[in-house]
Amino acid sequence: MREITYRQALNEALKEEMERDSTVFSAGEDIAIYGGAYGVTADLWKKFGDDRVKDTPISESAIVGIGIGAAMTGMRPVVEIMYIDFIPLCLEQIANQAAKIRYMFGGKTKVPLTIRTEGGTGRSLGAHHSQSLEAWLLHIPGLKVVMPSTSYDAKGLLKSAIRDDNPVIFIEHKMLYNIKGPVPEEEYTIPIGIADIKKEGKDVTILSYSRMMLFSLEAAKILEKDGINVEVIDLRTLLPLDMETIKKSIKKTNKVIIVEEDTKTGGTGAEVGMKIMEECFDYLDAPIKRIAGADVPMPKSPVLEKIAIPQIDDIIREVKLITS
């Protein structure tokens, strides 16, 4: 199977969905002629023109507002917020409008809106461009939140997000764009809300997503040399969460570690861990472990930035502790 980058996979998904459905269009800052801050929308403007690939003003509230209005009137917009750090600027539109309109209109209208954004650390961009704010969005009923870790998942899940009749927040990690992975040339989609077992094991379950998924897999490979067999599950979708896959794994391993890049206090792992306590407590032989980002504004210094987020050695250490 061919291997393409995460960026190329997303670009293909957008292109294929725009070719398949004339109601799909993209809008955002510098996504047209420039091709997007991270190149995801490269060449789409040349193919589809101004009507379907639109550069917008520097106004996140306007970008999402455009998307909501278009979605309510029969289009399937894909809007881009350049950095997840700018989500607060359009949280009114996301939380109070996009997420609630279908409910408040009694199902008479829908909002098939995909909001693409990127987050995470790795480029030493400082506190305003390096956050992982996905946990904020998990608290909003009416949204779906997707965070793929591989090229294959990115393409399949983005296509599903565009076809979904509900607003989907699609979060891409800035350090994944150049990572290559196998992606078939034929048409495929991946259902939203289904986790994926990236590596089977019997001694402990690691739950992760996005870039930390790759760190977890690397740690699992190293731990194999010490005779520790780790099961690694990629959550892929944070909302809705695939508790069935999680339960089956914990029944088998009886131990679980959640690895996330967002800050530990009030983070994704807190919600996932509580769900495990409510639904899987009887299967646990050890306390749930969380490996998460430090509760600090993200430093600009590359050295300090690395210290502020989980590393492969941190995962290895915690796995050894919980399995000893």
The answer to whether 129 is a known catalytic residue is yes
Q: Determine which one of 118, 129, 173, 260 is catalytic.
A: 129
Q: Determine which one of 12, 17, 60, 134 is catalytic.
A: 60
Cα–Cα nearest to 163, from 54, 67, 77, 72: 77
The position carrying tokens 């997420």 is 99
> What is the gyration radius of the CA atoms in the chain, in angstroms?
19
The answer to whether 60 is a known catalytic residue is yes
Measured at the CA of 271, the angle between CA 269 and CA 276, to 5 degrees, comes to: 90
Q: How far apart are CA 8 and CA 25, in angstroms?
A: 18
Return the SS3 of 32.
coil
Three-state SS string across 242-303, please? CHHHHHHHHHHHCCEEEEEEEECCCCHHHHHHHHHHHHHHHHCCCCCEEEEECCCCCCCCHH
**Residue 69 DSSP label:** H
Residues noted as catalytic: 60, 129
